[in-house]
Amino acid sequence: MILTKGEFSLTRPSVLMGKKFNGYLRVGIPSEQDAVVDLVVAHFMGATEASREEVMEEVTPSAAAVLCVYAERMAAVSVRESSSGPLERGIVAIGMALSRLEDPRDSLYPLAALNHASSVIGSSLGRVIDSVTEILPRSSKAEIRDFMERDERDKSLSSMGLCAMGEGAAFRYGSGPTDPS
């Protein structure tokens, strides 16, 4: 598929900056912003290794923050759809974000949500990571694997101050008290 210059620019991380993404975490799922980030992540996933390295050079700290929010939102989409595809996109988004985050600990929230979602749909985050490991930036693989090495209680929603809310099409992750069960 050949993209026009205008279409190609929609797949670059620079589209993740700006006021359009203010409050993104609290916007309903799905949203127009999700579709924009989907294009960026899908382009990255389908690119050659050399092209992925070029894309990584364009990821700014603010774009990295948007990618982390997207990853948490994809965890919710995964539960809603009972599908691992959104988990894969979420892990790739975290991989793209990790080296550009001002505080790498910001990746822990969406990783906890992705871990929880993988369990809810009957998968494991390890399997999801394995399915996209060749796409992940080298710099992020070790950090993602380090998260997986944590005790279960240290990668749980409650350890990150998150909780699962709602059911079915209204399911999402948010901050707050969690159900200990």
**pLDDT tens figures, 10-44:** 788 999 998 999 999 999 999 999 999 999 999 99
167 contacts: CB under 8 Å, gap ≥ 6: none
| Spatial distance between the Cα atoms of 86 and 26, rounded to a whole number of angstroms | 18
Q: Which residues pair with 165 in a beta bridge?
A: 172
The predicted structure's pLDDT at residue 127: 95
pLDDT at 102 over 50: yes
Instruction: pLDDT band for 9, please (50, 70, 90 cuts).
Output: low
pLDDT at 7 over 60: no
Q: What's the mean pLDDT when you consider all of the chain?
A: 91
pLDDT at 179 over 80: no
The predicted structure's pLDDT at residue 113: 97
Instruction: pLDDT band for 2, please (50, 70, 90 cuts).
Output: very low
The predicted structure's pLDDT at residue 139: 85
The predicted structure's pLDDT at residue 18: 84
pLDDT at 71 over 80: yes
Instruction: pLDDT band for 146, please (50, 70, 90 cuts).
Output: very high
Domain ranges of the chain: 5-175
3-state secondary structure the chain: CCCCHHHHHCCCHHHHCCHHHCCHHHCCCCCHHHHHHHHHHHHHHHCCHHHHHHHHHCCCHHHHHHHHHHHHHHHHHHHHHCCCHHHHHHHHHHHHHHCCCCCHHHHHHHHHHHHHHHHHCCCCHHHHHHHHCCCCCHHHHHHHHHHHHCCHHHHCCHHHCEEEECCHHHCEEEECCCCCC
